[in-house]
Amino acid sequence: MTEIPLRVLVVDDNEAKRNRIRGALADAVGEPQLDLKSASSVAAAGAMLESHDFDLLILDLNLPMRDGESPVKDGGMRLLRTIVRGGPRLRRPKHIVGLTEFADLFKESESEMESESWQLLHYAFDSSAWQDVLGRKAVYITGTLAGMRSDDDYQTDLAIITALKEIELDAILSLPCEWKSLRRSQDDTYYYEGRIETEGGPLKVVCCAAIEMGMAATACLATKVIYNFSPRYLAMAGITAGMAGNFGDVIFADQSWDYGAGKVINSSNAESVFKPGPNYIAVDAELKEKAQHFKQTRSAILHEIESRWQGNTPSSRLNLSIGPVASGAAVVESQEMIDAIRTHNRKLIGVEMEVYGSFLACRTARAPRPKCFAAKSICDFAAPPKTDEYQKYAAFTSAQFVLEFAKHYLR
């Protein structure tokens, strides 16, 4: 059986100290068993924690806030408090160890570290005591990893979720996937299990719809799907408002955020003013690369999707757009609102109600986490008059794109 590497993040602005920490860990578990990354500031560590899972975080308490700045005595504790607050972009390390060579800083931080069940060690250049403790910690964690993380832990290749049972889920169930109804004990959701045939072999697929529209319902559904089926990929399909393009065009979200997140304050004239504070979640870089490759090399497939549709078709050719999609709590039919949302990101290409919820559920799910993407199609342009004329066509092109994307890129 292949050994599972110990994933470690070392945060310290002293390169020599980082090297000593690495040496202590390598001596304990072996260099090949070590997957170690390093950062020299709070900001750099935060960026690492946004994009990687770690079994062990080791950090100096006296850290600069940004690379190139001078250390501040509570820099490390500020990072740890951010982790405790559970910001959606930060992935919590399983174990945390603090290091400091300053006796006063040790005394100031000891009780707070203990209250969170974190370990705090005295660092001294001429002492091996801290190295022995780190080594034993690494050996213990490595021992718990056996059999815990493996690609084999994924039970399903792809899960497809929608916000609407009618129109959106109907379009997914119309795909040639040999769908069969599937129920889970003490779970009211109706799931469907099928397969997508690819040149590399069949993909095991499940699909389902949320109980209602919106980010909250989508996040709940995505979390249940991840727990029940452990998919390698999770796709959000359906319909969306577009900022440009044509009815039915497919929008692939390269990032998403809740445009309603922020703070309402009183302005100088006592009027309430909304100050946006969005948390952006980006799609996995590899999936974005694959979507771009699809756009550049597989336009013929989009034309084939058009030819499969049996209803009223727009006169324009079907296109794929890749860009930012904002999520909110309400259906938008207001140019003023769209202009306000666009101030968050001038490259905005879509506005809808669910994508951020699916991204957040996957970002915060237990391991092994699925890679999440959203491919919704344009049914309106978030401005009056809004009609239902192209909803079924948009749901169809979205479902067909997910099918073709899975066939060519997810095996």
Q: Give me the residue spans of the domains in the chain.
A: 6-145, 151-409
Residue 136: CA count within 13 A, CB half-sphere: 6
Query: Locate tokens 């397969």: which residue?
Result: 195
pLDDT-derived band at 135, boundaries 50, 70, 90: very high
The predicted pLDDT at position 169 comes to 98
**Does pLDDT of 389 surpass 70?**
yes
**Does pLDDT of 305 surpass 70?**
yes
**Does pLDDT of 386 surpass 80?**
no
pLDDT-derived band at 83, boundaries 50, 70, 90: confident
The predicted pLDDT at position 101 comes to 93
What value does the mean pLDDT take over residues 328-355? 91
What value does the mean pLDDT take over residues 360-388? 91
pLDDT-derived band at 314, boundaries 50, 70, 90: confident
> Which has more confidence, 334 or 16?
16
**Does pLDDT of 131 surpass 50?**
yes
The predicted pLDDT at position 134 comes to 94
**Does pLDDT of 149 surpass 60?**
no
- Topology, domain 6-145: Rossmann fold (3.40.50)
DSSP 383: S
**Does pLDDT of 178 surpass 70?**
yes
The predicted pLDDT at position 265 comes to 86
The predicted pLDDT at position 243 comes to 94
Handedness of CA 13, 18, 21, 22 (dihedral sign): positive
- Per CATH, the number for 151-409 is 3.40.50.1580
pLDDT-derived band at 239, boundaries 50, 70, 90: very high
What value does the mean pLDDT take over residues 314-338? 91
Q: Using DSSP bridges, classify how beta strands 320-327 and 250-258 pair: parallel, antiparallel or unpaired.
A: parallel
**Does pLDDT of 2 surpass 60?**
no
The predicted pLDDT at position 218 comes to 97
| Distance, CA of 153 to chain centre | 19
Assess whether the region 6-145 and the region 151-409 belong to the same CATH fold: yes
What value does the mean pLDDT take over residues 305-333? 91
**Does pLDDT of 9 surpass 80?**
yes
Verdict on whether the full-model pTM lies above 0.75: no
The predicted pLDDT at position 1 comes to 36
The predicted pLDDT at position 287 comes to 95
Tell me what percent of the residues of the chain surpass a pLDDT of 70: 96
Average pLDDT across the chain, whole number:
91
**Does pLDDT of 148 surpass 60?**
no
pLDDT digits (tens, 9 = 90+) for 241-300: 999 999 999 999 999 999 999 888 887 776 888 888 889 999 999 999 999 999 999 999
Q: What count of other Cβ atoms lies within 10 Å of the Cβ of residue 315? A: 6
What value does the mean pLDDT take over residues 227-234? 93
The predicted pLDDT at position 268 comes to 74
Tell me what percent of the residues of the chain surpass a pLDDT of 90: 70
Helix residue spans in 153-260 (DSSP H)? 170-173, 215-229
Cβ atoms of 328 and 342 within 8 Å: the answer is no
The predicted pLDDT at position 71 comes to 94
d(CA 160, CA 138): 38
Cβ atoms of 37 and 51 within 8 Å: the answer is no
The predicted pLDDT at position 199 comes to 83
**Complete DSSP assignment for 60-113:** ESSB-SSTTSPPBTTHHHHHHHHHHHT-TTPPPPSEEEEEES-HHHHHHHHHHH
Task: Give the bridge partners for 94, in sequence order.
Answer: none
The predicted pLDDT at position 150 comes to 52
Amino acid at 107: K
**Does pLDDT of 37 surpass 90?**
yes
Lowest-pLDDT range of 110-124, 202-216, 390-404: 110-124
What value does the mean pLDDT take over residues 155-184? 95
Return the structure tokens found at 178: 């040999």
